[in-house]
Structure 1
Amino acid sequence: MSDFQRSFAKAKLAALPFQSPLHAEEDEEEDEGEDECGHWRPSPDPFQDDDSSSSASSASSTGTIIPSPSKNLFARPKFSTGRRTLDPLPWNDYFTRELYLNVSRPTENVIFHAYVVPPTKGPLLVTHHGAGSSGLSFALFALEVRKTLPNAGVLSLDARGHGETVVKHLGSQSNNADLDLSLETLSQDLLDVIHMTQTQLVWPELPRLVLIGHSLGGAVVTNIAVAGKLGNAVLGYAVLDVVEGSAIDALQSMHSYLSTRPKSFPSIASGIEWHTRSRTIRNSTSARISVPSLLRREPSNASNQWTWRTDLAATQPYWEGWFAGLSRKFLAAKGGKLLLLAGTDRLDKELMIGQMQGKYQLQVFPEAGHFIHEDQAEKTAMIVADFYRRNDTTALVLPPKVGAISKPKTLA
């Protein structure tokens, strides 16, 4: 290059603005712990509802970055608002009243605890939760179903040994000791709760009933339906994610599941977190409602830990009795029949034959876990609402009888 060309190039370069080398900025970002591209990406939210849109979550993670005039263009914010809270949600956002119903029997006194939204000229959906759960398992469902059926009511009890229901054995100083959790006893408990609710809320007669049970609760409502003790008040019954064959098979691995489950939690929030992280409950909103009712803190517990209210291992003597004969009773009972499952593999032979014969309505939620009514509360509510409408004979308008039709007038 000649001296003239060299001087001309220097003059041109001098007129350009100075820019720092790119690698210097990248080194600075690496020191701050950022990723390879220097972009801050919020950590995945483990408490996000499973039914949220995947496209929406993808869009949120690749949104347009607006440059800042500050030097630290991609600096991590001091506070992140992407995480959801794990604070418990109050029951009275989902039910209007809680009831304490006292039942005296020859060997025990029971104070049943239940949540209720009274119906207004509509049906009463009576729900029974599964083993180890509580009446608040149906809280989010209760809210969603009343969006579709505004006049409907919901009654959800805490079974004995669960939630805030207390059993006092006569002659014993301890509560809930040596609980009788047989299917017949649980069925009688639910019948008593229904009739006592009618008395306490001063209903002249029982409203139209739809019985809904999850897991163990499914066995209870089926047992009541096949016994016919509520007469014509029962329009139908729904069983959530339990059939006889798969339930009895699953009992073989129940001890393995209980051994892997934490025995205690340092706080309510950590209990909620475990349920969502383990995908036991896949809907974080429902977990925030129902999980606090599953735990309690003993006053004598020096470590200040939260433990399970229900000792599931102690219920083992009743496991097989809950589900034996369930499929036969489900198909034999009068009234509409609805079966909601998380997968078709749960159907046993008897139910497969019944389904092909059109004896009941089947709905499968492959995106849900065992707690269908919590994981997919809105969809469950819509299916139950449609099921009620299909079986509500009061809404039928029958044509007049042939003899009652007036003859057309003849012209004079």
Structure 2
Amino acid sequence: PGRKRDFSPVPWSQYFEAMEDVVVENENGKYTFRIYKSGSEGPVLLLLHGGGHSALSWAVFTSAIINRIQCRIVALDLRSHGETKVRNPEDLSAETMSKDVGNVVEAMYGDLPPPIMLIGHSMGGAIAVHTAASNLVPSLLGLCMIDVVEGTAMDALNSMQNFLRSRPKTFKSIENAIEWSVKSGQIRNLESARVSMVGQIKQCEEAASPEAPKAIVEGIIEEEEEEEEEDEDYEGRGSVNKRKKEDDTETKKEHLYTWRIELAKTEKYWDGWFRGLSNLFLGCPTPKLLLLAGVDRLDKDLTIGQMQGKFQMQVLPQCGHAVHEDAPDKVAEAVATFLIRHRFTEPIGGFQWKTCIHSWC
């Protein structure tokens, strides 16, 4: 059916203008934080990715928003993620990670940072709120959370380990990882997957064996789809899992690409990221935006806050959890409109922003 889809990786330079390593010095030594940048004037949009992802997940969004408004983009690899290097990478507490964000801002801009809007997805959304609530960015202009709600996140923590276990442990190539991410629905937008998936995986230490079996990761993809169909049928699912285990063991022999961060080991920090998040968000005095992939995701505190007009909300249907990757243009439009409406920036290139503030327009 038509052309074969291209799963080859695309370099960051097609979406960002520059890449830098920001050095932060403290009593524990030097840390280097990888950032990707675009734009030269207007407010800074400081972008914080979700758990397991990297700054590259903002690539397509960046080129979309840079064409709509005057702004500067700084997308940051959080500790233990992407190309950032810190002394104690296992410390992923909300407190440590939000201090990192404050330190990077200080290292980049000194005592007089430009106006900054924090935008975070999932875990990054939680870190953005903790950073804002602890007043670690003195020039904070606005705050945007993407698809993270305390109630939903707390409910999802129980099934998180099962989800992580269901992912392949290794991939035989970057192309395979990109293909898996799209076919499994992790990232629904192939363009974004081709640039962002590279930030989620790394080459395994050991060399690959030349006679590695070809169909393994494709096999895992098909079986995952099968697994969903057979969800009702427990015995059927058992056999799929058994096959998957055998496949995983065989894939291990190749040692090609694996996840950069073992998210399963960060479990002790999950509660701290999300507990109390709704009230922290509502308590931030700056203008706020909440972008969601589904309307059923508001918890009680946010529902009341929404009725009281304490933040602006937009629901983007037909998106998976990686909203800014699945619908980068829609997210760029929502953020651009928010910034123009608050007179934080100017539209460029004839960008037509909506004057209506209702999410259903």
The bucket for the TM-score relative to the shorter chain is 0.7 to 0.9
Is the contact made by 2:339 and 2:345 (CA closer than 8 Å) also made in structure 1?
no
The corresponding residue for 1:143 is 63
Shift of 1:354: 0.7
1:12-411 paired onto structure 2 within 5 Å: 42=1, 82-120=3-41, 122-149=42-69, 151-168=70-87, 176=89, 179-198=90-109, 205-231=112-138, 233-302=139-208, 303-392=254-343
Give the partner amino acid of 1:274.
W
Shift of 1:366: 1.6
Give the direction of change, closer, same or farther, for the CA distance of 1:106–1:379 in structure 2 (3 Å limit). Answer: same
Q: TM-score, normalised by structure 2?
A: 0.80
Is the contact made by 1:235 and 1:391 (CA closer than 8 Å) also made in structure 2?
no
Shift of 1:391: 1.9
CA distance in structure 2 between the partners assigned to 1:369 and 1:92 by the alignment = 26
Unaligned runs of 5+ residues in structure 2 are 209-253, 347-361
Superposed CA offset, 1:11-52 (max 9, x none): xxxxxxxxxxxxxxxxxxxxxxxxxxxxxxx26xxxxxxxxx
Give the direction of change, closer, same or farther, for the CA distance of 1:394–1:100 in structure 2 (3 Å limit). Answer: closer
Give the partner amino acid of 1:273.
E
Superposed CA offset, 1:341-374 (max 9, x none): 1111111001001111111101001210100000
CA distance in structure 1 between the partners assigned to 2:257 and 2:136 by the alignment = 39
Is the contact made by 2:178 and 2:197 (CA closer than 8 Å) also made in structure 1?
yes
CA distance in structure 2 between the partners assigned to 1:318 and 1:186 by the alignment = 11
Superposed CA offset, 1:47-104 (max 9, x none): xxxxxxxxxxxxxxxxxxxxxxxxxxxxxxxxxxx12211111101111111112223
Superposed CA offset, 1:268-312 (max 9, x none): 000000000011100000000100111111232442410000110
Superposed CA offset, 1:133-161 (max 9, x none): 00001111000001111x31100111111
Shift of 1:321: 0.4
Which structure has the higher relative contact order (CA within 8 Å, separation 6+)?
2
Shift of 1:195: 2.0
- Equivalent pairs, count: 301
Shift of 1:393: 5.7
Is the contact made by 2:177 and 2:197 (CA closer than 8 Å) also made in structure 1?
yes
CA distance in structure 2 between the partners assigned to 1:215 and 1:229 by the alignment = 20
CA distance in structure 1 between the partners assigned to 2:29 and 2:272 by the alignment = 22
Give the direction of change, closer, same or farther, for the CA distance of 1:282–1:394 in structure 2 (3 Å limit). Answer: closer
The percent of aligned pairs where both chains have the same amino acid is: 44
Shift of 1:385: 0.3
Aligned to 1:148, the other structure's residue is in SS state coil
Give the partner amino acid of 2:33.
F
Look at both structures and tell me which one has the larger radius of gyration over its CA atoms: 1
CA distance in structure 2 between the partners assigned to 1:140 and 1:118 by the alignment = 14
CA distance in structure 2 between the partners assigned to 1:304 and 1:358 by the alignment = 52
Aligned to 2:67, the other structure's residue is in SS state helix
